[in-house]
Structure 1
Amino acid sequence: MALGVLSLLGFQLVDSAFIARLGTAPLAAQSFTFPMSFLIIGVQVGLGIAIAALISRALGAGEASRARRLGSLVLVGGSLMVGILCLSLLILQAPLFRLLGADQALLPLIRAYWTPQLLASWVGALLYFGYSLFRAHGDMRLPGKMMVLTSLLNLLLDPLLIFGLGGWPGLGLPGAAWATAIAFTLGLLVLGLRLKQTDWLARQALGMEMRRSAGPFLGIAGPAMISQLMPPLAAMLATAILASLGETAVAAWGMASRLETVSLMVVLALTMSLPPWLGRCYGAADWQQIRRLMRLALRVVAVWQLALGLLLALAAPWVADLLAGNPEIRGELTILIRGLLPSYALLGVCMVVVSASNALGWPLRSMLMSAVRLFVCYLPCLWLGAQWGGIVGVALGAALGNALAGGLAFVLYRRSIGTRGKPLEAATV
């Protein structure tokens, strides 16, 4: 899963690197779409969390037939829900991007990119739901391989569709979105063929299962989606804050956001692969194993992210030069890398705790942690930093917000886990 996440997020970073060669305006236009893209991703991830949690719990309890019915229901319902959301964002695009601070000159660029990007987002959501089904059944290899495959396809198509070939000038900025849409569509076809070879879906008794599982599903999916929708809202507010610092700051922030997701590949892999495992342990009431898994995951995240963050901070000028074509963007991106990347050690701790809480029957606590991270820790520190010191203040403020969020999440997890899974003698000491 780590390799799959790296390849998937890596091609998004490559997208931005190619687009940076088109100029500051196209990169800024793409950066303005990130919060809306995160909104779609938030919905699909929230649904995916519920899919993995309920199916893995059913399998852990020995209810294989129920797991098949749940698989069928979530694939159909999730595709409809994300489709309606994408259509709404297409219709409301102009007022939404104006609200984010995009000026009139950027709107045509955004419009040309946003339509194919919405198509890519919908197909990508269907692919993600399929991945969630495989992960819930303990198959991490196929989703990882498919992420690598779609990433390679996108990497091959990107320069061709953006810059053209021979006498064909290419599509420019929209070419990046069309490359993603084509890669995801081919990946979905392969995944569908593989899914037909399993017995993980059912056609009978779906209405009965819908009535039975609607409450538990909404109990997980509702808080999970709210938790996942908070980052897009925070990203919108952060983009508005950066827009006050100028177009170059928005472009640098967008590139830093892409680099952030790539640098968090291990954390994201754990948030995908750990909950199904925890869900099975939860279904079997094996709290000792849950404690061991969480202890290992949190140690891995803290050590890996701190080491990677410090390494990238030292190499920041060279990384920024590799990713950005504009000297002004390179300078501001260097500042953001040095300020933000080391703080992802504690951000990763927070992300793992939030993801695990949904699998462990604490969806409301997960939602609370997400809200506190973004709206109590991150955004206030980001705003104060922008007011105090421009792009330098933004980097330091965001880093402080990440550190506070990680510390609070760890404390809340320790209080939530309590004495579960400990021997009775140790619990009473």
Structure 2
Amino acid sequence: HAQGESAAVASKFIAISIPANVPLAVGMTFSGVLRAVGDARRAMYVTLSAGIATAFLDPLLIFGLGLGVYGAAWATVLSRLILLAVGWFGAVGVHDLVARPRLKVARSDFGPIMAIGFPAIMANMAAPVSSAYTLRVFSDFGEPAIAASAVIDRLTPVAFGVVFALTASVGPIIGQNYGAKLMGRVQRTLTDSFILCIGYVLFAWAVLALAEPALVAAFEAKGESAQYIAFYCRYGVAAWIFLACLFVANVSFNNLGFPILSMVFNWARATLGTIPFVTIGARYGGVQGGMLGFAIGAAVFGLIAAATAYVVTWRLAKGIEGSVRVDLRPAPAGRGAKTP
């Protein structure tokens, strides 16, 4: 529904920021490579560096240099270049893990990679659909709602970058312990991840609620935009408790051999957990109601995904336990064992 000046500003913002998806993709690939060799610390630095850079560059470019919305776009570009540089340093400079690509090797690896990668790609495509629909609903409430959504989008990677880093770094731990058939450790890692992520979200929620007046002033929000931002900081952040649970569950699915479950839960949350809840919430409660609807939908599917993750680990543990019992049985005479 953007028209006139708003449409022109949005178009220029997209033109500046979209090309930065290339360094983002390469940088996140480096992060995945670092996690694969167990360097969770440097893998975490890749995403954290972008969040820290955004926190520094946004106020500098938007307010310090007076670039406004375009400053936010250039902050996105620069933060993703920094993300790429940090990932390159870890994967290439420290571990020397990156080789020159070869077509023959790429062809042979394509099938096994896509067996896991395709469901993961489809799962990651769900979040933009959810965000786009939510913004579409909020756009019916005018430019103040769109402006508030833009501010919230700037706050999210800074406030919850730690959640992204934690969920990304826990994957190798789950995978390595599953490979060693140590399902007790897998279940413990799952529980600890839920506790850490929920604890951090509660901490970030408290910080945002306390800092809400300063944030509204920093972004020079007025009137309804200020009210929407304040409501998000006080109440809307609750959605992230359950989104964090969904992220942890998805990581466990991907590393335990069930990437389809990750795709199913992400799309269920993005459609069944977003469209009816946001639509009904916005109809009866405006933008604030839509935010609460978004949080309720996230709660439903986040909790179901978390419960499913425990069911999956329990069934895998029972299967491993059964196979161990079979392996420990004495071999029958004449079949793998000699009798005196």
What interval of TM-score do these two structures reach, taking the shorter chain for normalisation?
A: 0.7 to 0.9
**Distance in 1 of aligned mates of 2:295 and 2:312:** 26
Distance 2:192 2:150 in 1: 32
Whole-Å Cα distance in 2 between the matches of residues 223 and 399 of structure 1?
25
Go from structure 1 to structure 2 and tell me whether the alpha carbon gap of 1:164 and 1:349 turns closer, same or farther (over 3 Å shift).
Answer: closer
1:271 match: 167
Deviation at 1:293, TM superposition (A): 0.7
Which of 189, 196, 200 is equivalent to 2:97?
200
User: Per the alignment, do residues 379 and 264 of structure 1 end up closer, same or farther by CA in structure 2, a change over 3 Å counting?
Assistant: farther
Q: How large is the RMSD of aligned CA atoms in angstroms? A: 3.1
Instruction: Tell whether the 8 Å contact from 1:313 to 1:341 is kept in structure 2 after alignment.
Output: no
Quote the Cα distance in structure 2 between the aligned partners of 1:209 and 1:315. 51
Q: Is the 8 A contact 1:343 1:403 kept in 2?
A: yes
Q: Which amino acid aligns with 2:129?
A: L
Q: Distance in 1 between matches of 2:241 and 2:292?
A: 15
Deviates more, 1:308-317 or 1:323-332: 308-317
Superposition pairs of residues 268-307 of structure 1, within 5 angstroms: 268-307=164-203
* Gap change, CA 1:387 and 1:105, over 3 Å in 2: same
Question: Do residues 383 (structure 1) and 255 (structure 2) align?
Answer: no
In structure 2, distance between residues paired with 1:163 and 1:149:
21
Deviation at 1:142, TM superposition (A): 2.9
Q: 1:182 to 1:424 in 2, by over 3 A?
A: closer
Which residue identity lines up with residue 131 of structure 1 in the other structure? S
Q: Are 1:256 and 2:134 matched, yes or no?
A: no
Going from structure 1 to structure 2, the CA distance change for 1:354 and 1:178 (only over 3 Å counts) comes to same
1:131 to 28, 31, 38: 31
Alpha-carbon shift at residue 263 of structure 1 (Å): 3.4
- Aligned counterparts of 1:257 and 1:323: Cα–Cα separation in 2: 12
Alpha-carbon shift at residue 338 of structure 1 (Å):
2.6
| 1:386-401 equivalent positions in 2, closer than 5 A | 386-401=282-297
Mapping for residues 224-263 of structure 1, pairs under 5 Å? 224-263=120-159
* C-alpha contact 1:306 1:343 (8 A) present in aligned 2: no
Q: Which residue of 1 aligns with 2:230?
A: 334
Aligned partner of 1:223 among 114, 119, 126: 119
Cα deviation for residue 406 of structure 1 reads 1.9
Closer, same or farther: CA 127–345 of 1 in aligned 2, 3 Å: same
Partner of 2:70: 174
| Structure 1 CA distance for aligned equivalents of residues 56 and 299 of structure 2 | 38
Task: Rate the CA distance shift 1:384–1:155 in 2: closer, same or farther, 3 A.
Answer: closer
Contact 1:264 1:348 in 2 (8 A): no
Corresponding residue number in structure 2 for 1:106: 6
Please say if 1:410 is aligned against 2:303: no
Look up the equivalent residue of 1:269 and give its one-letter code.
Answer: A
Inter-CA distance 355–323: structure 2 relative to 1 (3 Å threshold): farther
Give the gaps of 5 or more residues in structure 2: 326-340
Write the letter of the residue equivalent to 1:386: A
Partner of 1:280: helix, strand, or coil?
helix
Q: Secondary structure at the match of 2:95?
A: coil
Residues of 2 paired with 1:154 and 1:319: CA distance?
15
Count the aligned residue pairs.
Answer: 322
Q: Mark the CA change 1:187 to 1:253 in structure 2 (over 3 Å): closer, same or farther.
A: closer
Contact (CA 8 Å) 1:154, 1:183: kept in 2 or not? yes
SS at match of 1:377: coil
CA-to-aligned-CA distance 1:22-53 (integer Å, 9 cap, x gap): xxxxxxxxxxxxxxxxxxxxxxxxxxxxxxxx
- In the alignment, the residues of structure 2 paired with residue 158 and residue 307 of structure 1 have an alpha-carbon distance, to the nearest angstrom, of 23
Q: Does the CA contact (< 8 Å) of 2:249 and 2:309 recur in 1? A: yes
How much does 1:188 deviate?
Answer: 3.6
Alignment match, 2:240: 344
Q: CA separation of 1:164/1:331 partners in 2, compared to 1, >3 Å: closer, same or farther?
A: closer
1:35 matched residue in structure 2: none
Question: Any conservation in 2 of the 1:335–1:391 contact (CA below 8 Å)?
Answer: no
Q: Higher relative CO (CA 8 A, sep ≥ 6), structure 1 or 2? A: 1
Q: Secondary structure at the match of 1:138?
A: coil
8 Å Cα contact 1:298-1:349 kept in structure 2: yes
Q: TM-score, normalised by structure 1?
A: 0.66
| CA deviation map 1:88-114 (0-9, x unaligned) | xxxxxxxxxxxxx22233222123222
Matched, 1:365 2:265: no
CA 180–365 in structure 1, closer or farther in 2 if over 3 Å, else same:
closer
Task: Choose 1 or 2 for highest CA Rg.
Answer: 2
Question: 1:291-337 deviations in whole A, cap 9, x for unaligned?
Answer: 11111111222333245435644664454344443233111211233
